[in-house]
């Protein structure tokens, strides 16, 4: 189905507003309304939910998260960036594996099962899109997904 990507992102962000406010995390969105992509709305919603959940969960209070959606010629790009704890370089390729979590002891108290990014990766593959993570410990993480425009 054709999907108005900005609207989908806005709907997901709304469901996280309360939890972000409780952590005093500011969510800034800059969403290109022209982005229309083709895909499974429920699955893509799950992708954004998992990425935003991580951004909030692994970011300390009073920091910010940004979502930037850009429609290019052939594809749309969504980047979700946080100012959180970051992911060590040696773990970055493994975090998309099922049940893999960085510093298990440290993250255990933050809940979660270690499936979120494996699901993101799988859904993006099924959509013929891309998914990349970049991160610096102590500075933050950026998740970037791309999908072909209609
Ligand atoms: P859940 O299944 O509830 O999503 P999870 O968050 O532990 O559990 P993933 O979303 O797959 O699982 O993430 C895997 C690991 O990657 C996390 O445990 C965390 O260590 C690290 N991680 C993921 N996103 C971030 C982020 N934005 N900042 C810092 N670390 C992150
Ligand atoms: Mg997660």
pTM of the model: 0.96
Q: What is the CA(76)–ligand 1 centre distance, in A?
A: 24
Q: Give the DSSP H or E segment for 142.
A: strand 140-148
Of 76, 12, 86, 22, which Cα lies nearest the Cα of 50?
Answer: 12
**Count of alpha carbons within 13 Å of 34, Cβ hemisphere only?**
7
pLDDT digits (tens, 9 = 90+) for 31-77: 999 999 999 999 999 999 999 999 999 999 999 999 999 999 999 99
Q: What is the CA(31)–ligand 2 centre distance, in A?
A: 23
The ipTM, to two decimals, is 0.99
Atom in ligand 1 nearest the alpha carbon of residue 102: 20
pLDDT over 80 at 105, yes or no: no
Atom in ligand 1 nearest the alpha carbon of residue 59: 28
**Count of alpha carbons within 13 Å of 85, Cβ hemisphere only?**
14
């Amino acid at each position: 189905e054709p999907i108005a990507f900005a609207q989908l992102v806005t709907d997901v962000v709304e469901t996280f507003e309360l939890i972000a406010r409780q952590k005093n995390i500011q969510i800034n969105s800059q969403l290109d309304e022209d982005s229309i992509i083709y895909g499974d709305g429920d699955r893509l919603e799950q992708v954004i939910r998992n990425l935003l959940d991580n951004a909030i969960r692994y970011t300390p209070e009073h920091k910010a998260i940004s979502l930037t959606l850009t429609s290019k010629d052939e594809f749309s790009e969504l980047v979700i960036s946080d100012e959180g704890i970051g992911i060590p370089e040696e773990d970055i390729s493994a975090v998309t594996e099922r049940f893999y979590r960085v510093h298990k002891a440290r993250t255990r108290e933050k809940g979660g099962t270690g499936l979120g990014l494996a699901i993101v990766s799988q859904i993006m593959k099924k959509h013929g899109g891309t998914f990349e993570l970049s991160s610096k410990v102590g500075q933050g993480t950026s998740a970037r997904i791309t999908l072909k425009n209609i």
